[in-house]
């Protein structure tokens, strides 16, 4: 089949905020304990941080990491996780039914962020706790000295403030599974007050209001409109969360899930702008898609109640999951004008691109590769693509273009990058690439992920599902034609 993509240098969607390549570490399963933190492991440093994991996170290119939850945060007392480790309490952790030892907490996370070259995105507990504890945590993290909580931090051995810039106002507060879930009005008021007070402590921070915990929530839309109506002036972003699965083993529908994501993002933008219009506001609320991923392989796996760091939500990803992650990330980039933050949920072991053995090795899951490639090369601005592609219908969607694609332009490095998925399982795609205004650019690299069984996975010592290099695509006059293999993720880079 043939398809065409046309972009022009001047037709920018928007600047790509690096934070769109964020991720997430929750106190859940083996994300922290046995994931990023494992004192005594041969690869751990003096602070107990696994350096093999840190190396992979750097390779993946993750500029921001959300922490400590997730559902966990709605019952978390941040004070439990600071100060002398031997004095920290063990808690029954109600979100995931496990025991939390609190040997890793805020300061350990900040230290870890420094080592992983990521900045922290902290969530505050607006479930069992509220604005008072939230503002105290900002003071603990960000205030220099000479106040109760900044002096407490100093007494814990951390003289300099951590300067945390990004704060989530709770987590999924619309969900009945959440500790102290709230109605939109209840949450809107608490979030508004918390944000106001947190910003009074440190005027340089940005805050994220909880949107719906998924597009499927009965209150979706009304929740965003009501909470934003209350908190509009005091918050900077609204959150979106969504996970996708292939429960029905229906590949054409699974590959098309990014159409649903596109629609979800569009609906939230419309709701933000509806509230903006109602308020005659000059301020625009942007989007923080702070939980997204494929998640379904591990659903329903039993966990021993009150155990410590069990094997929870440990999805092992396959090749089709990697293609879906690529489509989702391309879609996020297509909304670069409004999606400023996004977090692949999560980062290590728990529905994650990096998988460890406690006491053992680590490997890159299939989903690691499209993320890492896009984080490395989708820089600068996203260009608005005009896509001409044959389409298909499937059980869940109509008119699905076989081609999912975005082009980015990195002005600083004189580089243009095209990211494309061919959704067809049967046919190669001859893609005609027309990048107007870049006539003096030449293709310099063509990499792809293709040719694997759709259910093929990676494992320890065998990362066979990964990117590989191809011969450069053909140039014909001003255009370039690339052959995209059936079921493939492709990255073509052009340089001046």
Q: Which residues bind ligand AHR (CB under 6 A)?
A: 26, 69-71, 171-172, 213, 291, 345-346
Give the CA count within 13 Å in the CB-facing half-sphere of 162. Answer: 29
As separate numbers, helices (DSSP H) first and strands (DSSP E) second, the chain gives: 10, 26
Minimal distance in Å, beta carbon 69 to ligand AHR? 5
Distances (CA, A) of 321 to 68, 192, 352, 371, 451: 26, 38, 12, 12, 14
Nearer to ligand AHR, 330 or 345 (CB): 345
Which CB sits closer to ligand AHR, 71 or 119? 71
Q: How far apart are CA 478 and CA 130, in angstroms?
A: 59
317, 346 Cβ separation under 8 angstroms: no
Supply the minimum distance, in Å, between the C-beta of residue 342 and ligand AHR.
14
Closer to ligand AHR by Cβ: residue 69 or 130 = 69
Taking the least distance from each CB to ligand AHR, the nearer of 139 and 172 is 172
Q: Which CB atom, from 69 or from 101, has the smaller least distance to ligand AHR?
A: 69
Secondary structure (DSSP) of 386-408: EEE--EE--SS-SSEESEEEEEE
At closest approach, how far in Å is the CB of 335 from ligand AHR? 21
User: Which pairs with CB-CB distance under 8 Å and at least 24 residues apart come from 226-230?
Assistant: 226/184, 226/185, 226/188, 227/184, 227/187, 227/188, 227/191, 228/188, 228/271, 228/272, 228/275, 228/285, 229/188, 229/275, 229/278, 229/279, 230/185, 230/188, 230/189, 230/191, 230/192
| Cβ 179 to ligand AHR shortest distance, Å | 11
Q: 3-state DSSP call for residue 278? A: helix
Q: How far is the CB of 58 from ligand AHR (least distance, A)?
A: 22
How far apart (Å, rounded) are the C-alpha atoms in residues 64 and 483?
Answer: 35
Q: Which is nearer to ligand AHR, 161 or 175 (CB)?
A: 175
Backbone phi and psi for residue 233, each to the nearest 5 degrees, phi listed first: -75, -20
Of residues 290, 210, 286, 208, the one with CA closest to residue 243 = 290
Report which residue's Cβ sits closest to ligand AHR.
Answer: 70
**Helical H runs in 241-306?**
251-255, 257-279
* Residue number, 171 or 424, with CB nearest to ligand AHR: 171
Candidates 296, 255, 297, 305; CA nearest to 425 is 255
Is the separation of the CB atoms in 422 and 484 below 8 Å?
yes
Choice between 67 and 419, CB closer to ligand AHR: 67
Minimum CB separation of residue 66 from ligand AHR in Å reads 10
For residue 467, which of 486, 444, 448, 490 has the smallest C-alpha distance? 448
**CB of residue 118 vs ligand AHR: minimum separation in angstroms?**
18
Report the distance separating Cα 479 and Cα 492, nearest Å. 13
d(CA 50, CA 356): 10
Nearest distance, CB of residue 223 and ligand AHR, angstroms: 15
Query: Distance between CA atoms of 378 and 380, rounded to whole angstroms?
Result: 7
Which residues are identified as catalytic?
A: 172, 291
């Amino acid at each position: 089949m043939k398809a065409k993509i046309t972009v022009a240098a001047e037709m920018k969607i928007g600047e790509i905020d690096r934070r769109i390549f964020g991720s997430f570490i929750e106190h859940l399963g083996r994300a922290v304990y046995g994931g990023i933190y494992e004192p005594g492991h041969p690869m751990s440093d003096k602070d107990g941080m696994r350096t093999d994991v840190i190396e992979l996170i750097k390779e993946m290119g993750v500029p921001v990491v959300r922490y400590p939850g997730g559902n966990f945060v709605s019952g978390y007392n941040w004070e439990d996780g600071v100060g002398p480790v031997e004095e920290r309490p063990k808690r029954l952790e109600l979100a995931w039914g496990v025991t939390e030892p609190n040997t890793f907490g805020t300061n350990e996370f900040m230290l870890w962020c420094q080592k992983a070259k990521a900045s922290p995105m902290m969530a505050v507990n607006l479930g069992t706790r509220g604005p008072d504890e939230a503002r105290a945590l900002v003071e603990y993290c960000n205030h220099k000295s000479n106040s109760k909580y900044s002096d407490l931090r100093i007494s814990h051995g951390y003289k300099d403030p951590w300067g945390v810039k990004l704060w989530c106002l709770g987590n999924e507060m619309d969900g009945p599974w959440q500790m102290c879930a709230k109605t939109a009005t209840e949450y809107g008021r608490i979030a508004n007050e918390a944000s106001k007070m947190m910003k009074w402590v440190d005027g340089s921070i940005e805050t994220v209001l909880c949107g719906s915990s998924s597009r499927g929530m009965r209150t979706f839309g009304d929740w965003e409109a009501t909470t934003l109506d209350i908190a509009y002036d005091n918050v900077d972003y609204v959150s979106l969360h969504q996970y996708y699965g292939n429960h029905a083993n229906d590949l054409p529908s699974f590959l098309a899930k990014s159409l649903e994501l596109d629609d979800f993002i569009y609906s939230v933008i419309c709701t933000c702008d509806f509230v903006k219009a109602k308020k005659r506001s000059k301020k625009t609320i942007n989007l923080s898609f702070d939980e997204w991923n494929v998640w379904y392989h591990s659903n329903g796996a039993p966990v021993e109640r009150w155990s410590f760091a069990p094997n929870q939500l440990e999805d092992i990803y396959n090749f089709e999951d990697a293609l879906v992650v690529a489509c989702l990330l391309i879609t996020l980039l297509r909304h670069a004008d409004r999606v400023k933050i996004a977090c692949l949920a999560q980062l290590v072991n728990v529905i994650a691109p990096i998988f460890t053995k406690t006491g053992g090795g680590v490997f890159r899951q299939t989903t690691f590769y499209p993320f890492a490639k896009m984080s490395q090369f989708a820089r600068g601005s996203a260009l608005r693509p005009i896509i001409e592609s044959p389409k298909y219908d499937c059980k869940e969607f109509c008119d699905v273009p076989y081609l999912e694609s975005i082009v980015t332009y990195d002005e600083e490095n004189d580089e243009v990058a095209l990211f494309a998925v061919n959704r067809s399982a049967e046919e190669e795609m001859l893609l005609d690439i027309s990048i107007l205004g870049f006539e003096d650019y030449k293709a310099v690299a063509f990499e792809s992920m293709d040719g694997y069984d759709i259910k093929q996975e990676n494992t320890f010592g065998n990362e066979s599902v990964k990117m590989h290099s191809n011969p450069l695509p053909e140039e014909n006059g001003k255009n370039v034609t690339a052959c995209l293999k059936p079921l493939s993720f492709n990255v073509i880079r052009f340089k001046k």
